[in-house]
Structure 1
């Protein structure tokens, strides 16, 4: 048996329990991962609240998508990874069927080899765990938008887990000519330091007061009903936080991929793409409740990490 956080019913943070959970065996094409660090994402608490109720996993459910750790067992057909490899992954492929019952807020989990990538050599387990879901979401957004070098981008929510990485991707990977983002008053300098050319204080300026128009609008906080107005007429508008976005916008869930993580490895190891971890992190494994409270407050800056998992 292993230690894990889980819930047996949908609801608020109060339904989370800490206890014992079976250690799984990896099936064909899967690895058993000993988790050294995990990270929280908004989808974790939205899932707990019943967001995927119509197509969810069975109870008890262990939350968590992001993890970094060490391969301790491999299933039949695993060809690239071996026992002892240090890896990281977004293990939950929400668009490929029912989510996994065993997430990453546990000491061990199983994950398909194709969702896993070698941990960048310059990152700690905590830094690596903070990246997968958020960076893959931002990467997929630019690809969906068919973003081209020299175009401009407006990123709503530049201080968040996805937004903080989207700014770095825009600057160092996709060659944006102009990057404008939004943040609250206290986070303006932080978002500017990530590479934004201009950061708009959303507490003082509304979207319809912004005269500039952009080639791509990436809304990471679900405000496409308002933010779509800064898009050029033919520009793509993506909203990853509202299941019913403005008609001008599209919603998508990330399709995780180890291959896509590997494509970003040179940018990570050259430190052009840096993890952004909330200053209150890491939270200990026993403090997961407090970590979720911080996540659900909407005040996190970057990603919330849980470590060590023991």
Structure 2
């Protein structure tokens, strides 16, 4: 394709931005003249097609991590799916026009990018991205990276393997839906239990849970059965220990956690997405989108309001991004 057909990249763009910490409803605003990020040698510039929201976005906006945050004003957003429009001099894996996806912040809480994915363009290190599987739309692809990588890293840290049993706390959420799918199809769990509210039990079954537990009606720690691994995506580490087998492990993604639980914050890595690609391409690991998804770019504040209810199922995606 002739270079002439590649659209020229503007110097400024539309982005959702906050200049002070606070509630998304108060501080987030659409800036139509935000500078496009400068490209480093190991980065690609993406024309963003879709972005998904994560709880870390509104916690960061709320100032929970201000000690290690990047300077304001900031455009939020970790998850991205888009098209490469420019490559840095050291980039080997991607070329202009490649369709890619990833979590753009390697260390989630250590100086994340000032220009996140809720913008028309974002610059991302090559190693954080993977080629988008052809069977996923941009909308679907944006729902994967942070949540599926967190699910994968947590299962790896817990030493999960074939024949082990697992209990997933928060099975219908962004991370939980992927923990169930990975435990079943990638790790071949012997038994998968998962908690959710009443109306989401059917989803847990569809994803592969053998034992869906309605947390509004029963206490999982009172079950006679105990589990090799408890994956806590909701912040109930103390209760989680009571559901663990002797010699088992509790892994949690909600700080601070209680020892000896394994507490971790994801280190983003495009190689995780490449490893999981065969399962995604075969349809075994699939995107789970909240029924209200997608929210158009103009309704990003409404998307955050929905996320902040903590009632979302799967992932909330903003699409299309103009």
The interval holding the TM-score normalised by the smaller chain is over 0.9
SS of equivalent residue, structure 1 residue 45:
helix
TM-fit CA distance, 1:25: 2.7
Match of 2:315 among 303, 307, 310: 303
Structure 2 gap segments, 5+ residues each: 1-11
Asked whether 1:89 is paired with 2:102, we answer yes
Q: Would you say the 8 A contact 1:228–1:237 is kept in 2?
A: yes
Who is 2:5 aligned against? none
TM-fit CA distance, 1:96: 8.1
SS of equivalent residue, structure 1 residue 94:
coil
Determine the C-alpha separation between the residues in 2 that align with 1:16 and 1:4: 10
TM-fit CA distance, 1:95: 5.5
Asked whether 1:245 is paired with 2:242, we answer no
TM-fit CA distance, 1:210: 1.3
Q: Would you say the 8 A contact 2:49–2:138 is kept in 1?
A: yes
Who is 1:263 aligned against? 275
Determine the C-alpha separation between the residues in 1 that align with 2:79 and 2:308: 17
Determine the C-alpha separation between the residues in 2 that align with 1:39 and 1:291: 9
Structure 1 gap segments, 5+ residues each: none
Deviation string 1:225-277 (CA, Å, 9 cap, x unpaired) is 22221011221111112x12133422211111111100111100000000000
Q: Would you say the 8 A contact 1:228–1:248 is kept in 2?
A: no
Asked whether 1:67 is paired with 2:80, we answer yes
Who is 1:225 aligned against? 238
Determine the C-alpha separation between the residues in 2 that align with 1:160 and 1:226: 19
Who is 2:23 aligned against? 12
Who is 2:155 aligned against? 142
TM-fit CA distance, 1:94: 2.2
Determine the C-alpha separation between the residues in 1 that align with 2:208 and 2:108: 31
The TM-score normalised by the length of structure 2 is 0.94
The TM-score normalised by the length of structure 1 is 0.98
Alignment size in residue pairs: 309
TM-fit CA distance, 1:198: 0.6
Determine the C-alpha separation between the residues in 2 that align with 1:298 and 1:154: 20
